[in-house]
Chains A and B, each alone.
Chain A
Amino acid sequence: MGDVLSWAGGGLVIVGVALSVLGAVGVLRFPDFYTRIHAASITDTGGASLVLLGLCLIAGLSLVTLKLVFVWVFVMLTTPVAANALANAAFSSGHKPRIGAFQIVRTDERRKTPRGTDQP
């Protein structure tokens, strides 16, 4: 039983690491800032979750598992928020995405200009 758990845990760790590497490739290859953040944050959260889950399985039920769960909660709280804050800052400073016809309308100007018009 313990052997099966450690093999499953090791597999999850490898999958998580592969996901993180894919995210790194995405950060390098994607065309603009928003898609890069997308690649970085999703694979970072998912990859770290898989690695931590795998480590939990390897460690078995002990205090280490609890600490790993705490780390997982922290990662789940911080990484998406950091990505959100980055994208938010870029969007507020008027950084335009390269893909898609996308009109930036600031929240405080939204009432004046209906969505879809070309007026800034």
Chain B
Amino acid sequence: MIALPPSFDANLAIDIVLLVMLLVVAGAIVRTRNLLAAIILFGIYSLVSAVWLVVMDAPDVAFTEAVVGAGISTIVLLGAILLTRGEAEKTDWRRLAAPALLCVAVGGLLVYAAMGLPALGDAASPANAHVGRAYLEATPRDIGIPNMVTAVLASYRGFDTLGETAVIFAAGIGVALMLGFGPRASLAPPPAVIGDHHVVLRVSAKFLIPLIALFAFYVQFHGDLGAGGGFQAGVIMAAAIILHALVFGLRETMAAVPPRVARGAASFGVLLYAGVGVACMVNGGGFLDYDFLFPPAIEKQIPGWLLGDPDHAHHWGQHFGIMLIELGVLLTVAATMVTIFYGFAGRTVDAARQEAKR
């Protein structure tokens, strides 16, 4: 029987196990030459980091890490690997010396800087004492939603989030400019195969895809109350569409969600977000100041019993403003991811067609 140290801490043990797993997976990623294995390992790395973030009490970040790192980026990388070879070239160690030194130097600097960080959960640290504390204290009064992460993200720092949404949109435009919006020629119907090998996959995917889409909406509209929001929901929605493409073929998906619609939805999302901000300005507030979302004429029409306690300020503007901008984020993220996927998949189809012509 091993005598546990008196201060045995289950959280600490889980932290250590997860961090060791991260280290091992990172080592495996560096060592493997098989790019497919590296992509799968990247997914595992993201999943383990997500678990670790949950242990660190950051469910919103963990959620994003899980859906973006383990979900969508794995799929996009798999789309990219179809355009290249599956094996990495063996590189001479002398060519690797300078980058390795740089990595070690930067890593050492980061470790050195980490020593100056305040302790986890330190109430006196700048992050918890100044602006973070102000947000925590003011959110129930100003915004009135339980999830403070969403309050900070969508309302206090709404302008930053608009910037992030625009960055995602710009990334989609960049990929589309390089790879195109999809296959050049129209896709032929798949050849009829005797004996469908994938009947199990098809039937269960048909059952799962609506459920995944439904879960995306749950995450979207639950963002005010718990972990979740437009970014995560958008990625989950894109995953449902991409799963459809992987199982039923690109042709069927492009008939259901045409690339033109995806493009339009991506730009409409940013427009909706910015439009909410402009609407607030028109009604006399600042940009994205949701308290001014409804003009006073409409505000008077809301029946009193819906507003609840007349002594407390109601937060209808905040609720509806956050809902609208999260909807914009959902549209932009989901449509951009689908556009990027169409770009990669279209390139692969075009390359296969050129190969067949030769």
Contacts and interface: CB of A to CB of B under 8 A. Distances in A.
Interface string B196-217: 0110110011011001000000
A84 B197 contact: no
A88 B204 CA distance: 15
B198 A88 contact: yes
A92 B197 contact: yes
Interface in B113-134: none
A85 B193 contact: no
Nearest to B247: A85
Contacts of B200: 81, 84-85, 88
A78 interface: yes
Nearest to A88: B197
Given A81-B200, A85-B198, A108 B193 contact: yes
B36 to A, nearest CB: 13
Contact of B197 (A74, A107, A110): A107
B208 A78 contact: yes
B215 to A, nearest CB: 9
Contacts of A78: 204, 208
B195 A85 contact: no
A81 B197 contact: no
B71 to A, nearest CB: 13
Interface in B180-202: 193-195, 197-198, 200-201
B201 A85 contact: yes
A81 B201 contact: yes
Interface residues of B, number: 12
A77 B208 contact: yes
Interface string A59-91: 000000000000000100110010011001000
Interface in B37-91: none
B195 A84 contact: no
A108 B211 CA distance: 33
A78 B197 CA distance: 17
B204 A108 contact: no
A108 B195 contact: yes
Contacts of A88: 197-198, 200-201
B201 A84 contact: yes
Given A77-B208, A78-B208, A108 B201 contact: no
Contact of A107 (B194, B207, B211): B194
Q: Which interface residue of B197, B198, B205 has the most chain A CB atoms within 10 A? A: B197
Contacts of B195: 107-108, 110
A77 B243 CA distance: 15
Interface string B233-267: 00000000000000000000000000000000000
A2 B5 CA distance: 30
Contacts of A110: 195
A108 B194 CA distance: 6
Contacts of A108: 193-195
Nearest to B207: A77
A30 B204 CA distance: 28
Contacts of B211: 74
Nearest to B194: A108
B204 A77 contact: yes
B154 to A, nearest CB: 24
Contacts of B201: 81, 84-85, 88
B80 to A, nearest CB: 20
A120 B27 CA distance: 43
Nearest to A84: B200
Q: Which interface residue of A81, A84, A88 has the most chain B CB atoms within 10 A? A: A81
B204 to A, nearest CB: 4
Interface in A82-117: 84-85, 88, 92, 107-108, 110
Contacts of A85: 198, 200-201
25 contacts: A74-B211, A77-B204, A77-B207, A77-B208, A78-B204, A78-B208, A81-B200, A81-B201, A81-B204, A81-B205, A84-B201, A85-B198, A85-B200, A85-B201, A88-B197, A88-B200, A88-B201, A92-B197, A107-B194, A107-B195, A107-B197, A108-B193, A108-B194, A108-B195, A110-B195
Given A78-B204, A81-B200, 15 more contacts: A74-B211, A77-B208, A78-B208, A81-B201, A81-B204, A81-B205, A84-B200, A84-B201, A85-B200, A88-B197, A88-B201, A107-B194, A108-B193, A108-B194, A108-B195
Task: State the 4 A-B residue pairs at the shortest beta-carbon distance, nearest first.
Answer: A107-B195, A81-B204, A108-B194, A84-B200
